[in-house]
Amino acid sequence: MTLQPILNYAHSLIKAVINHGDVAVDATCGNGHDTLFLSSLVGKEGYVYGFDIQKQAIAQTEERLKKHCAEEQVTLVQDSHAQIAKYIPASHQFEIKAAIFNLGYLPGSDKNIVTTPQETIASVKQLLSFLQPGGIIVLVIYHGHAGGAEEKDALVQYATSLEQKSFQVLQYGFINQRNSPPFIIAIEKK
């Protein structure tokens, strides 16, 4: 098929901007798939910061990275992505080339522990101020769970309001799928 599934498309957007040696952020580590993907793209000369509020997610991400010998260039933080400025050293903040958010709950875990509009937007705002020109933030928005619709609406409203002189904002999703299908909002800094 020509049209890429949501997660493939999210990764292809990230892959298009990241080079070896870059700095990247996984704002929601979960089971660590995206952290591993970012780590392989930046290579040993680059760096990845991964955030998750759940101990289980950080442990699973650490295990996945170790299994692929990709942990050396990654710092994992068990705290909210709203606190990124506190954990990413000043020397790396303005080198960030890409960030990914995979919103919602950790698959196979407590469905009540979810990302929230307030913390997600607080994090995106900080990342947009740090991001290098040409850099990108990719939000994969799952919204079928309790609280998901509120987060989706807040993010669409926030992203729509971004100044077009400074940012390009893309929405990508399949509009004929049933049951609240996920979609992407990608924000590129000009």
Structure tokens belonging to residue 7 = 């997660």
**Three-state SS letters, 131-163:** CCCCCEEEEEECCCCCCHHHHHHHHHHHHHCCC
Q: Which is nearer to ligand SAM, 46 or 104 (CB)?
A: 104
Taking each helix axis from N to C terminus, what angle separates 33-42 and 6-17, rounded to the nearest 10 degrees? 20
CB-nearest residue to ligand SAM: 30
Placement of tokens 């793209």 in the chain: 41
| Shortest reach from residue 133's CB to ligand SAM, in Å | 26
Task: Tell me the closest approach of the beta carbon of residue 43 to ligand SAM, in angstroms.
Answer: 19
- Whole-angstrom Cα distance, residue 1 to residue 3? 6
Q: Least distance to ligand SAM from the beta carbon of 181, Å?
A: 14
Whole-number Å distance between alpha carbons of 163 and 168: 8
CB of 165 to ligand SAM, least distance (A): 30
Rank residues 49 and 105 by Cβ distance to ligand SAM and give the closer one: 105
Residue 125 vs 190, nearer CB to ligand SAM: 125
Contact 24, 46 (CB under 8 A): yes
| 47, 59, 69 from 38: Cα distances, Å | 9, 17, 13
Binding site for ligand SAM (CB under 6 A): 28, 30-34, 51-54, 57, 80-82, 102, 104-106, 113-115, 119
Q: Cβ 80 to ligand SAM, closest distance in Å? A: 4
Closer to ligand SAM by Cβ: residue 30 or 135? 30
Beta bridge partners of 189: 167
Which of 31/73 has CB closer to ligand SAM? 31
